[in-house]
Structures are given as structure tokens and as C-alpha cells.
Structure 1
């Protein structure tokens, strides 16, 4: 593909959602996830339980933008650091880590990801959506963030591990925040 011909964000079709974040304790947020039968893998549980994962006691609104890797100018794929740098250049910012659980609670109608598709290791699964958030630890065995997935009807909030050399696929979906939309809304 020729990058010059592809439409690059913001001139490409992009899913945008406004999500309210914050206002719950970790235990309240976990309880809401459980009430909606949302599952977590071990990496998601580890990230959620870590003290580095903090949440706001104030409710605020986030405008979440979901481009594909190719929509940010990488038709052959790229690494996470390069993707995050390019997103910043076009006015997108990393999301607060707590957006992952809140977006999972909002995005209950996520399409099935793997139906009839092969599974693979070391790549984002079909239909998954990764939350672009600050990486809390350089330890390669510590989860880098959350991604959302629907597997055989079950909704998941999953953690993932990747290093700075891992190459993302052009059709991988990431969620970023629009810079001007991290606004405080209601004190808790």
C-alpha cells in the first residue's frame, strides 16, 4: 500500500465514543465488572490489583477515538512506541489506564472476535480493541495495559504483555483520547 494514498487520521473513518470514567473505588469497579459477567485473564487481574493502577474519585468524560494502526500511517505495522509517538503528533493522547474497565462496561455489544478465524500467539486477537495507556513498568513480564475482547459470547477485560520491539499488525485497533477532552465533571 502507498501511505500517500491511504487516508490517515483524522481523515479516515474512526469510531468515537464518549465515556464517563472515575467515581468508583477499585472494589466498586470490580463489582460492576462482575455484575456484567465480564471476565479477566491473569494479566488483567494482575494489572487491576497493582498499586500502580490508580483510579479517580472524580467522574470525568473522555472522548475515546479508535483508529487502526494503518490509520495512523503504518500500513505495514509498527511498534508500540512508534504508534504512541505518531498518535501524539496527530493530537491523540494516551488514555488513563482506568478507561479500560469503564470502556468495557460501556461496550457491551462488542462483536464476536474469533468466529471462524484462526488463533495465533504474540498478536492481537481478531476483534480485540487495545487501550493505549501509559506503560507502568519496563519489566517485560508486567502487563502493559488492557484490551477488550468478546470470545464465544463472553466479554473480557484482558491484560497484555509486549516489548518495545513487538510489531503491531496494520489492522489492530487501538483506543486513544482526544487531547482536549479530559475534563473533570462531577466531584465524588
Structure 2
């Protein structure tokens, strides 16, 4: 196995924008997608911005090890390496849009569902700029399927937290307005 782009990766093309935060929350509710408290905080924060204009994002789903970190890495290390490899951080609004599109996400393995301070097995974290530089404020979103229930969840982590090599992140490859 190599380092991106010489490794297996899942790419997706996603339409983003054109919906307000309230409209996104209503669509999530209509699809029976659950939100944790951190996701609710992010979606209702005044700094959570959405684009009035629809645009297309091409994303790539990579493991931490695919970025060259076989022993895991911190969020700043992960983001810095991805940028050096030609990837971009995603807009924060990608989280709810991707959750609405990715309705067939496989369920994670139960042994990692309840481990505190780790991403649940099968979850995908959206690599995005943080809304607020506060370790107690949610950093961003991740998607999970727990016991057959789809979730859009927010998460907190400080810059010293080591993410596991098998943790998945979504990065952007290109952004195109239309």
C-alpha cells in the first residue's frame, strides 16, 4: 500500500450549496438522520455558513495511513500532509450534504462503537476548517451508521489527539461552481 495518490481511495462527486442551515436540518430530519448535540451546535452556530449558490465538490475518502501515518497522527499533521499532497480542506457545509447523499453507508464494527476518544469504526470524518478555535467547541462533522441508524455527528478534539491509522477522512479534490 502506498501513500495518496498511490493507494486505494473512494471518490465521490457531491452537489453542495443552495440550502440554508435550517433547510439542511429539515432535510436531515425528513431522512430520519440523527444529530448528536455537537452537530446541533455546529448547524445552529452563526459561523456555520452555507452557500446560496450550488456547486460541485469532488471528494476523496482516505485513511490516516494513506497519508503516510502508519502509527496515526494529530489533526494538524493530517491536514498539513493532505494539503502537501494536493488535497484541500472541505467547506463545513459538506457534512450535512454528504450525509444526505450517502444513505447506504455500511454499519461500523460494534467493538469500536463505544470506545471513548476514538472515531467509531466505519465513521468518516469531514476534513474541514474549524469554525472556532476553541477545544470545547465542535471541530467538524463525521458520518456514521450505528445499529442501522444514520448519524451526522459533531466532534471535539484538541491538537494533541492522535487519530488512528485506520480512521477515514474526506478531503476535497476540486471545487466547481455552476
- Judge same fold: TM > 0.5, yes or no: yes
Mark the runs of 5 or more structure 2 residues left unpaired by the alignment. Answer: none
Residue number among 49, 53, 76 corresponding to 1:54 in the alignment: 49
Contact 2:113 2:120 (8 Å CA) reproduced: no
Q: Which residue of 2 aligns with 1:16?
A: 11
**TM-score normalized by the length of structure 2:** 0.97
Instruction: Kindly indicate whether residue 134 of structure 2 is the aligned counterpart of residue 157 of structure 1.
Output: no
Secondary structure, aligned partner of 2:12: strand
Deviation track 1:20-58 (CA, whole Å, cap 9, x = no partner) reads 000112111111101100000000100110011100000
| Rg larger in structure | 1
Query: Quick one: structure 1 residues 141 and 73, their matched pair in 2 at CA, closer, same or farther if it must change by over 3 Å?
Result: same
Distance 1:102 1:21 in 2: 6
Residue number among 52, 58, 64 corresponding to 1:63 in the alignment: 58
Residue number among 135, 138, 141 corresponding to 2:136 in the alignment: 141
Query: Quick one: structure 1 residues 38 and 118, their matched pair in 2 at CA, closer, same or farther if it must change by over 3 Å?
Result: closer
Q: Which residue of 1 aligns with 2:88?
A: 93
